[in-house]
Amino acid sequence: MMKDQTIHANELLGAFTKEAYSRIAPFLTEVDLDLGTVVCEAGGLLSHAYFPQGCVLSLLTVLENGSEIECANIGREGAFGLFAAMYSRVSFNRCTVQLQGPMVRCDIRPLQAMFESSAHMQNLFVSYSETLLSQVMQTVACNSLHSVEERLCRWLLMMHDRAEGENLTYTHEFLARIMGVNRTSVTLAAQSLQSKGLIRYRRGMMQVVDRRGMETAACECYMVVRERFDAFLNPPSTAIQKTEEGGI
């Protein structure tokens, strides 16, 4: 069981009502998985939803020949496994730990019960899932239409946001696999970014040294996805929001 302050560590959990959080609190447990750990394989059955607090989870599309490419990543703004509480317990993607850090997980059953009985939770889960889907669609376009250098900037900025400015421990081989390109392409892109003074790297350690420059060098996909999640978590005052009388 987690203490109540956990509600603020993950932003999606922070959007739960106090009543909703009190119902799932007994089912929340802390997990701290190593970098690269497979949380769930594609086609695997989900018994828990995972709410990152400092880690990042990567959703990978896996092909028959074993190759894979990232289609979305999830940090403290969201969760992995909410589809299991709404529709299906089968994971469509391989989910791995992309940035090591704290995380909590919750049994699917109480989440499913809340989803079935609460209009507020239905709105929250569906709205988040739609926002996550928008990231998947933006990533598809980015992977198809933008240069490796632009895509690398986008990806490093997303990780920089979640790591809160800490160094990023990624090899060129890892980045090539996650981006679905060859290692040489990543090396050339990283060398270009370093020569421009945007990043510094050595032996699997990357550091963003010019944040504004990186945002300029990245394609528009970084800001598009970031703004969509900001809008989901902080809707404007003019937004129409349904509420359920008396909470859940």
Q: Looking up tokens 């892109």, which residue turns up?
A: 189
Residues 211 and 112 occupy one common structural domain: no
Please name the residue ranges forming H helices in 164-201. 172-179, 183-195
Distance (Å) of CA 137 to CA 35, 141, 177: 26, 7, 19
The two tokens of residue 132 are: 């996550």
**C-alpha Rg value of the chain to the nearest Å:** 18
- Are 204 and 170 in contact by the 8 Å Cβ rule? The answer is yes
Residues 105 and 203 placed together within one structural domain of the fold: no
Q: List, for residues 25-80, the tens digit of each pLDDT value.
A: 999 999 989 988 999 999 999 999 999 999 999 999 999 888 899 999 999 999 99
Question: pLDDT tens digit string along 148-197?
Answer: 999 999 999 999 988 876 788 888 998 998 899 999 999 999 999 999 99
Domain of residue 168: give its range: 144-225
| Same domain (yes/no): 152, 107 | no
- pTM confidence score: 0.87
Q: Which amino acid, 137?
A: M
